[in-house]
Amino acid sequence: MAMKGMQAAARSAQEALGFEPPSHMKGLQVFIADIRNCPNKEQEEKRVDKELAKIRLKFTSSKTVSGYDKKKYVWKLLYAYMLGYEVDFGHFQAVELCSSNKFSEKTAGYLAISLLLADNAEILRLVVNSIKHDMMANQEQHAALALNTVANIGGSEFSDNLFVDISKMLLQNNTLSAYIKRKACICLLRLYRKDNDTLQPDIWRRRLTQLFQDRDIGLLTSASGFVLGILETAQHPIAEWRELIPVVSNCLANLVQGECPEHYEYYHVPAPWLQTKLLRILQFFPVNMFGPDMLQRVNIILNSILSKPTTQRAHIGGGSKKRPKADAERQNRSNAEHAVLFEAMNLMIELGEACDPDSLRTAAGLLGAFISSADPNIRYLGLETMARLAIMQSMHEHLERYKNLILEKMHESDVSIRRQALNLLYALCTPANWQHIVDELLEILSASDVLLQEELVLKIAILAERNAPNFGWYVDVVFRMLESAPDSVSDEVWYRVVQVVTGFEEGMSEADKNKLQGHAAGKAFQNLTAGGNKPLHETLVRLGAYLIGEFGHLLPQNISPRAKFDSVHRHFARGSTQTKAIIMLACSKLLNANPDALKREVISFLEDLQEEHDVDIQQRACEMLMMLRDQDFVDHVLFTMPSYAESVQQNNPLVQRLKFQSKSRAHTREQLEHAAKSEGGVLKTRGKALRQGSGEDSSRAGTSPGGFGGASPGSQNNNVVAARGAPQAEDSDSESSSGESSDDGAAAAPVPGAAPGAGPRDLWKQLCIMPQGSFYSSASLSLELKQEYNTSMGRLTIMFTNPGQSPIGNIRVMLPEVPFMRMQAMNEPPASLGPGQQAPHFVQVQCLRPFLQPAKYLVEYCDRPGGQPIQLPFMLPAIMTKFITPAEMPMAQFRPFFESLEGAPREHITVGGAEVAPNQWPNYITKGFNFSLIEGSTPACAFGAGTFHTGTPDPSKPGTMMTVPCMMRVEYNEQAKMVRLTVRSQHGEVTQHLSQIMTTYLVTPTPSG
C-alpha cells in the first residue's frame, strides 16, 4: 500500500509539472525499436525516410495537429537528426511547442530549436517572446528551459533582444535561486561574446562583487566564466574591474583551505575548475593593482597551492587494455591537481618579481619533477611553464641545474616536447653556458626534424651572436649549420653574418675587424674548395662568394688571386640566378682588388655571359663590363662596404623574425584562438609584451647585403572571409624584465596535441600568414606544413607523422581540381605509417587567376585494421596573397598611379574599427600581405604596393604571364578610433578579394544597421 501511495504521489507531481512518462508516446518507442531492428543501413534509411514523409504530411495538412502529436513528431525528428539525417522542416511546430503551458511540450520545443536551428536562423525571432515570458515566469523549470536555449544558440538575434532582460534578472531580482543565477551567467557570457557594447562596468562590478560572496560553487563557477569572458574581450580598461580582486582572492582562499561541499570535490580536489578560473582572473590584473596587503594574501594562497602534495599519475603501458580502478582515480586526481598547479604558476609568472621568492624556488623544484614525468603531457606543460618562468633573471639560478635534463628532452620522439625544450634552452642560455648549449644543439641539428630545423637554426644563430666571446666563434657556428642543415639556413641568417663581419659603427677596433673579416673569408675559402667540384648548397655558395669577394684581400698571402677566383667561379654553372649574380659581383670585386692578376680571367668570364640565355645575368654582365672600363667609377662602386649603423646591430632581423612568428601567452579571447598555433616565443603580455615588429624592420637590417634584393619573410593570408582575426602581439613601450634574453623569447611553441582548442580551422588561419606550422593534430595523425612561393608558383610540403602507439594505414590524399589553380602532387603520400614514423607529401601549385575560396586537400586514413576510414577535408593555405611580390617605388611614383585607379570596380573602401594597433601595420603589409611599404608611410597613414602574379599567358605580351599591379592605403583617425582601408588595382576581382583579406586582419567592420 505504501508503495502504491508513493507512485500515486509521483504521478501527481508529474502531472502538476507537465511531465508525461515515456509510455505515453508509443509511436516514438515503436519508431526507435524499428530503427534498432534494421539489419543494414539501407533498411534504416528507408524506415527513416518513410517516417519523415509521414511527419511532413501531418505538418502540411490543413487538419489541426494537437500539442501531444506535435511533441511526438518533434521527438521523432530529433531522433532522426541525432542519427545523422537531415531535418529541414518542423521548425515552426517546434516554435509553437515553446509557447505551450505543458512542460513536456515546452521541453520538446526548446530542445528542437536548440539542435535544429543555427544562431542566424530568421525563425528565431518568433521564439523571442516565448523565451521572455518563460524567463519572467514564476516557474523555475520554465525559466531554466528558456535560459538553456539562449545559452545553447546565442547569436545576434538573442543578443539584441534578450541581453538586457537577462541582465535585469541578475541586477534587479535578488529572489532568484542560485540555480537560475547560474544559468543567467552562462547566457550572459554567450551573448556578451556576440555583443559587448551594452555592458556597463560601473553597474556590473558591484553586482559581480556580490555574486562572488555567494557560497554556491556552481554559481561561483558560472560567475567566474562570465568575468573571464569580460576580461578576455578587453572591451573595457582592466582598472574598471579592480574591485573584483579582493572577492576573487577570498573565494580562492576558501577553496584552497578546503571550504567546499563534498559533491563539488573532484577526486578530493576542491572544485578544480573554479580554482583555475579564479587564478586565471587574477592574471589579468597588473601587479600595481593588488596593493601590499592583497599581494601578501595572494602569495600565501600560491604558497599553499604549491605546498600541497600532488598525486603521481599512473603510467599505463601501451599494451594494457584495462587499468585498475585505483590507477584511474589516481590519474584523474593528478589531472585536477596539475591543472591548479600550472594555473598557479601562470599567476606567479604574471606577478614576476613581486612573487614570494620561496614560492618561486618551490615552483622551480616542482617543474623540475614535471619535466622528468613519465607522462608526455606533464613533461610538455612543465617545459612550457619553465620557459615562461625563465623570463625572470632571478629564476635562472634555480633552473640552471636542470640544463642537462632539458638537453635530454631534445632527443624525445615527440616533436612538440623537443620544441618546448629548445625554447627553454634558448631562454636559459647565458654567456656562461652558451657554448655547451650551442654545441649540443649543433649536434642535434643534423638529425632533427625538417620542420624543427629552421627554428633551431634561427635560435642557434641568435645565441651564438649574443653570447660568443668574439664574432669569430659566431662565424664558425654558422658555417657548421651550413654543413649540418643547409636547407634550413634561410637568407636572413647569412645576411646577418655579412652584417656582423662587415662591422658596426661603434663596434670593434679596425685591427679586430680586419682579423674577423680575414677569418670569415678564410672559412669561406676553405668550405668552397674543400669538396673540389662537388656541388655545394646554394646558401653556402652565396655566403662564401660574398665573403671572398668583399674580404678576399685579407686572405693569407699564400692564396693567389687566381685561387680566390677559381674558388667561386667553379660553382657558377650550378647556381640559380641570384647565386650567379652574387658570384659575378664577387669576381668583379676580386678584379678590382687584383687588376693585373685577374683581368684576363674576369673579363673573359663576363664577356661569355653577354650571350647568356638568362636576361638578368646577360644584363648584369654587360653593365659590369661597361663599368670596368672606368677605373675611378669602379673604385667608387666596388669599394669595400662601409660599417653598418649601430641601430642595425640592435635590431637583429633574426630576432624580429622570431617576434613576428611568436605569440604572447593569450589573454584576450582573440589571442586565445591563436594561442595553440604560435611558432616561437611565449612571452608575457601587457607591460612585458613584445612588439610584433616596427618600422625599423624595413631599414638596412632587413635587406640583403650588397643590394642583391631582400628575402621576403614568408607570411601570407588565406581565405580570411571564413575567419576573423589575425595573430598579433601585444604592444608595449617597456622592455621585458629579463632584458634582451627574454626579448627574443623565453621561448615556447605550442604545437599539435599540446594546447586544447586548436582546431583545423584555427591552425589553417595561422598558416594563412605564416610560412610553416601545424596543419592538423590528433592522437593518431599530425600534419605539419611548410610553404614556399615564387611569383605564381608555390611548393607545399605536408609532413605526415604518426604520434600514436599503433600503426595507421590506407592513407589517401585527393586534390580536387579547381579552375583558378593548377595543382600537382610531386610524390605519392605515405600509404601507411608506423608508430613515430613520418613522411612528406610535396604539392606544387600555380595560380591561374584571382580567387577567394581556397583549394581543397582531402585526407583519408584508418587508425586501426578494419576500422572505418577517417575523412579530413582541409583547405590549402595557398591563397591570393601568397602570389604577390613587393613592388618597390618612391612615393612620387606611387601617388599618381594610385590616384588614377580611383572609383569602382578598381577601388574598394572599408571603414571600421582598428583590428590591430597602427604601429603593427608595417608587419601586416610587408610580411602578411607581401606588399612593399612605401617610404613616407606613417603610423596614421601607410601605403603599400605589390604585384599579383598568375600563370596565365598575357595575350598582349607574348611570352609573359598576366600580372596585376595592386596598391593599398590604410588610414587611422585617432579621435574617432576608426580605420579606413583603400585597395586599388586594375582588375576589379583582384581588388575585391584583396580588400576582403586585408579587412580581416586590419579592420573591425562596423555593424550594419
What value does the mean pLDDT of the chain take? 81
- Please report, for residues 499, 588, 697, the alpha-carbon distance to residue 703 in angstroms, rounded to integers and kept in the order given: 10, 21, 9
pLDDT at 156: 83
d(CA 742, CA 239): 27
What CA–CA distance (Å, rounded) separates 297 from 290?
Answer: 10
Q: What's the pLDDT tens digit per position in 34-45?
A: 999 999 999 999
pLDDT value at residue 775:
87
Q: How many CB atoms lie within 10 A of CB 632?
A: 7
Please check the confidence at residue 321 and state whether its pLDDT lies above 80. Answer: no
Q: With a cut of 90, say whether residue 665 has pLDDT above it.
A: no
* pLDDT, tens digit, 9 for 90 and up, residues 894-919: 998 998 888 888 899 998 888 888 88
* DSSP result, 919-947: GGHHHIIIIIS-PEEPTT-BTTEEEEEEE
Looking at the DSSP bridge assignments, the partners of residue 809 are 862
The alpha carbons of the chain give a radius of gyration, in whole angstroms, of: 33
Q: Which of 779, 700, 689, 775 is nearest to 735 (CA)?
A: 689
- Residue 938: per-residue pLDDT: 87
Q: Of 356, 338, 234, 339, whose CA–CA distance to 290 is shortest? A: 356
Query: pLDDT tens across 834-859, in order?
Result: 888 889 999 999 999 999 888 999 99
Q: Amino acid identity of 832?
A: S
CB-based contacts of 850, cutoff 8 Å, min separation 6: 820, 880, 948, 950, 964, 987, 989, 990, 993
Cis peptide before 713 (omega within 30 of 0): no
Per-residue pLDDT for 1008 more than 60?
no
**Structure confidence at residue 118 as a pLDDT band (50, 70, 90):** confident
Amino acid identity, residue 243? E
Scored b (16 or more CB within 10 A) or e, 709-732 reads ebbbbbbbbbbbeebebbbbbbeb
pLDDT in tens, 362-392: 998 999 888 888 888 889 998 988 888 888 8
The 3-state secondary structure of 580-612 reads HHHHHHHHHHHHHHCHHHHHHHHHHHHHHHHHC
- How far out from the chain centre does Cα 539 lie? 29
In the structure, what pLDDT confidence band is assigned to residue 20 with cuts at 50, 70 and 90?
low
642: left (phi over 0), alpha (psi -120 to 50) or beta: beta
pLDDT of residue 109: 92
Q: Is the pLDDT of residue 82 over 80?
A: yes
In this prediction, residue 672 carries a pLDDT of 42
- pLDDT tens readout for residues 605-663: 888 888 888 888 888 889 888 888 888 787 778 878 888 887 777 778 787 667 545 44
117 pLDDT more than 80? yes
d(CA 387, CA 399) in angstroms, rounded, equals: 10
Which pTM value belongs to this model?
0.61
Q: Is the dihedral of CA 676, 679, 684, 690 positive or negative?
A: negative
Kindly report which listed range (88-102, 133-147, 475-489, 664-678) carries the lowest average pLDDT score.
664-678
Q: What is the pLDDT of residue 319?
A: 46
Task: Report helix angle 595-608 to 561-569, nearest 10.
Answer: 20
**254-307 pLDDT, tens digit each:** 999 888 888 888 888 999 999 999 999 999 999 989 988 999 999 999 999 988
Q: Which of 553, 555, 584 is nearest to 568 (CA)?
A: 584
Counting runs of H as helices and runs of E as strands, what totals does the chain give? 40, 19
Distance CA 507, CA 471 (A): 11
The cell numbers describing 386, all together, are 619553465
Sign of the four-CA dihedral 258, 262, 268, 272 = negative
Contacts of 33 (CB under 8 A, 6+ apart): none
